[in-house]
Structure 1
Amino acid sequence: MAEENGAAPQPPTPPRMQILGQFIRDLSFENIAAQKSIQTQTQPDIQVQVALDARKREQENQFDVIVKLKIESKTKDETPQPIFLIELDYVGIFQVENVPQEQLHPFLMIECPRMLFPFLRRIVSDITRDGGFPPLNLENMDFLAIYRNELARRAESKKTADA
């Protein structure tokens, strides 16, 4: 189907994303087992919490995407004792183009963290190994589900605040 000026319609320009840089903004590793001389022979109970954030940078089409991890490891005893705690803020600097404004927030909160995840996994593995534990290899994270859960949580808290 030709447009009125006789030219064929242009296909939509696909989204373009480029990682310009990435860095650890904050990192804390507490080896509580060593500090308190806790001996554990059983498989620990590991809890992973993830928070996501994104901010516009001064440069056009550039964004900081922050993935915050909190990983707690405890014994599986009747009275669980902490083994270690990791808190990691990891930032990616992204150049994002050709994404419609209404799709930009989900893109930044789903696709960008997905690109950062292999680097996060490696850092967590290295930290736990260097801390004297077996390397912790994080399972893949479903950033779409994390995003949807956060939207639902915000909607619920807004309902509660409005009531």
Structure 2
Amino acid sequence: MAEENGAQENAAQQNAPQARLSILTQYIRDLSFENIAAQKGVASPESQPEISVKVNVEAAGRAEDRYEVMIKLNVNSSIQGQPVFLIELDYAGLFLIQNVPQEQLHPLMMIECPRLIFPFARRIISDVTRDGGFPSLNLEPIDFLGLYRAEIARRQAAQTSTPAQA
């Protein structure tokens, strides 16, 4: 009897629709590069600048099974508190996501989708800094799982610290 139940479960799993994640397209949604040093008439800096990178991920449904996921990168470079350059990049991908349980959809869009498109955004940042007159800036890989967990923890802390309204 146990063998029959196991065989039925295997048949049910084989007949269940497979989860699907595909990148339909990816694109620059917005890009801004400001060479502040050149605008001020300062030559390319000789010393190593401080680099600050801020990352944000946004996701939204576009159609029944299509979702736009966007990585927002804000890169600031400064030397001794003086700005050198600023990059703002919104890089998006349009994904086809099918047969994914609802409770797994949000983590998939906020972790796996940005992980797939990040290398392309990283290359854009590298090319823009080089083309802007600076050495190529190669961003370190981003731990999107860690960012997701930190955001969930931040939201939970904000909910517990906010008093319930009557």
Structures share fold, TM-score greater than 0.5: yes
RMSD: 2.1
In terms of mean alpha carbon deviation, does 9-18 or 145-154 score higher? 9-18
Shift of 1:16: 1.5
Match of 1:41 among 42, 46, 53: 46
Shift of 1:159: 3.0
When the two structures are superposed, what TM-score results if normalisation uses the length of structure 2? 0.87
* Percent of aligned pairs with the same amino acid: 53
**Paired amino acid for 1:44:** P
Shift of 1:117: 0.7
**Paired amino acid for 1:143:** F
Counterpart secondary structure, 2:133: coil
Q: 1:130 to 1:154 in 2, by over 3 A?
A: same
Matches within 5 A, 1:8-157: 8-11=10-13, 13-39=17-43, 40-58=45-63, 60-75=64-79, 77=80, 80-157=81-158
User: Whole-Å Cα distance in 1 between the matches of residues 89 and 145 of structure 2?
Assistant: 20
Unmatched 5+ stretches in structure 1: none
Query: Would you tell me which structure has more helix in proportion to its own residues?
Result: 2
Shift of 1:43: 1.1
Q: 1:119 to 1:5 in 2, by over 3 A?
A: closer
Counterpart secondary structure, 2:141: coil
Counterpart secondary structure, 1:138: coil
CA contact (8 A) 1:2 1:8 kept: no
Q: 1:67 to 1:133 in 2, by over 3 A?
A: same
Aligned residues: 159
**Paired amino acid for 2:51:** I
Counterpart secondary structure, 1:42: coil
